Structure 1
């Protein structure tokens, strides 16, 4: 088995566990904060929002830093650092004596993170050009599927083993990811640049700045769209399922439907992007995702919503690997870790922004408007991608073919 394939399997497991660990705590945070002695409902909501969001803010800040470290010392050391650090910190959350300690630990969780960034950089630099789309597509399913399936897993663990067990079991899973990384991930790392570059120097060495910015924004919008519904999905399912039992389970399945579809679609669309071009996949999937959001505002029952969320997952499955493929192609090798770090920062900011914006729109205008606003953002992004990415790369490909013909 080729090295990149073996590393892909190990990294997939680690990223899936990381995604689950990051998201499965979210649905039990309000209950755990209440368990820690906060009884006022408004305070529980405020502390829950702070505890949830602060992890993604710190991830957004530190992802480029850890990406730079990966370019200097290698990607495997960053994988070991992140997995072991999260093992300790998430495990300690189960012993938090009050909500303030919990928030500090959530902040530290984001600070020591960066597992996904290192995994993406490792596979992007190891996989050969012909299989890059397939490799990054497969890898992207781990993080997104873990994030989307996490809330359902967290709710199940809470009901079965109790609140504190969620943190202990998640910490154990992260330790398994650490062991898996230590034993099975192999890297022959050679640092190419000996000088420490500033962010200004790094930016000046990027050959296609406009294209890079467009891809960052696309990744931000994608994650904003995926998580805009997270704060209100349970309320929406409750409205659609009057007097239905197991609302929380139905909400978990509805939200996780996108994750299942992503697992199915991402490797296939990644492989297709290797054949026809990642820029084409990005544009088409953005348009289809925007269209898929609209009927979600008019569903009459939970099952219709589940089907549409599944279709959304199919379209989203083509976006993450295609963005990563293009970033890999236009980024100098010695800057790959840093640029992927910035891209992951955009993703984490999108996750945080989606959760905040979705809840605010639902509270001010109604749940259905969340789907309209998200669809509009995706359409606008698709138009921008068409002019800045799709047409440009199509023209470049045509010029390249014409040059070869001469």
Structure 2
């Protein structure tokens, strides 16, 4: 049985018969399967271009090595910027018009844009289309909104953990496919194949996903009651959860800009650097895949706050020995362990965000949660690069670990503050 005593009042949990989750109780399992497949395919499509993106940029007329590196970075990162900007908007529209239309919009939009990228004539069109993919896409974000609000409160952590596994698998498998597919069908053909794969996800979404959605604005009396049920402390709760979500991606990405150089200092031969760096980075995603659903289910049993605080402390501690490794396989093992400890955070955070707001605002807040994650994905490499340049690469692990431990202390304080106010 779920432990909700340390989280939010029962009236907020959405367990009354007229809630969105209650009306969709017969659909959420099948919808979860479709959303996992759709999230997997879209993330494969977005990440598979990593191995050949510089080659495509060169094919589009960029010649100097520095310009190829610069444009490749812009083309890759601009998609996540677009998603961060529009995720709250799509979440708010999901609250107004339903979750399924947002899934269909994201799938069809991504299928069209990914195919069109294969027709780009220059690097400016490539960047514009990648930005458009972020603006109109976001299938995984829309899936989190649907599953996070449809799954029963006592199963939400597990369901979001399973969904997170699909996302992580897509990020892990994508570069592997991208390393093989262009050799078989060409770079442009790879984009057409990606668009076709997302089109299958769109078709499955249209035909299989079910939703009983009714936009029921609250009466003034209910809004007044809701104001009592959601005191000001929930703004502190939401702020802490958004900061924590940002820290998840920040901690994972902080080492990305310097990981190849750091591995080179461990004695790895130059001709093996790229391969070993890829293995080390994949270990984190693989560790998260193994544990995401398990830790999500644990959050259902012992409470989301407990899992979040425990995972933050564990990840902060696992960061420290990464600064003292002497072999690359030691770093790989520690990154895999770090992926395991990080895995429980996002499902637990999404579960608590869902519980902290009214049902009519859940999509918008989960959208803000996605934006916070992408903010971490952007700021992580910036912080890691700056610390590595000015203080040395080992200090990246110290700084990131300290930030995670500070975040754990913050969340422990927020949890205790919520308990004391409930007692009062």
TM value normalised by structure 1: 0.89
Question: Which sits farther off after the overlay, 78-87 or 368-377?
Answer: 368-377
**Following the alignment from structure 1 to structure 2, what is the Cα–Cα distance between the partners of residues 346 and 300?**
34
Q: Match of 1:198?
A: none
1:152–1:256 CA contact under 8 A, matched in 2: no
SS at match of 1:187: coil
Q: Which residue number in structure 2 is paired with residue 347 of structure 1? A: 373
CA 230–176 in structure 1, closer or farther in 2 if over 3 Å, else same: farther
| Pair 1:392 & 2:417 matched | yes
Please, what is the CA RMSD of the aligned residues?
2.6
- Whether the 8 Å CA contact 1:117–1:337 is kept in 2: the answer is no
Cα distance in 1 for residues equivalent to 2:366 and 2:85: 13
1:29 counterpart (45, 53, 59): 53
CA deviation after TM superposition for structure 1 residue 241, in Å: 5.0
Question: Bigger CA drift: 129-138 or 360-369?
Answer: 360-369
Q: Residue in 1 aligned with 2:187?
A: 163
Deviations 1:60-113 (A, max 9, x none): 111111111111111111111111111111111122111111111111011102
TM-score (norm 2): 0.85
Matched, 1:253 2:273: no
Partner of 2:72: 48
What's the counterpart of residue 130 of structure 1? Answer: 154
Asked if 1:144 corresponds to 2:168, the answer is yes
- 1:192 aligns to what SS in structure 2? coil
Match for 2:329 among 287, 299, 303?
303
Q: Aligned in 2, Cα 1:48/1:330: closer, same or farther, shift over 3 Å?
A: same
Contact 2:268 2:328 in 1 (8 A): no
Are 1:9 and 2:33 counterparts? yes
Q: Deviations over 1:298-348 (max 9, x none)?
A: 222221111111101110111011101111111100111111111101111
Tell me if the contact between 2:266 and 2:328 (Cα under 8 Å) persists in the aligned partners: yes
Deviation at 1:164, TM superposition (A): 2.9
Q: Which runs of 5+ in 1 are unaligned?
A: 196-201, 401-406
- Residue 339 of structure 2 aligns with which residue? 313
Equivalent residue of 1:221, what SS?
Answer: helix
2:87 aligned with 1:63, yes or no? yes
1:231-252 per-position Cα deviation (integer Å, ceiling 9, x unaligned) = 3333333443532755433322
Aligned to 2:17: none
Aligned residues: 392
Q: Does 1:118 align with 2:142?
A: yes
Tell me by how many angstroms 1:2 deviates: 4.2
2:303 to 266, 277, 283: 277
Structure-1 separation of matches of 2:413 and 2:146: 31
**1:404 alignment partner in structure 2:** none
| Alignment pair present for 1:216 and 2:242 | yes
Answer yes or no: is 1:378 the counterpart of 2:407. no
Supply the distance in 2 between the matched residues of 1:381 and 1:216 (Cα, whole angstroms): 11
CA distance in 1, matches of 2:156, 2:204: 23
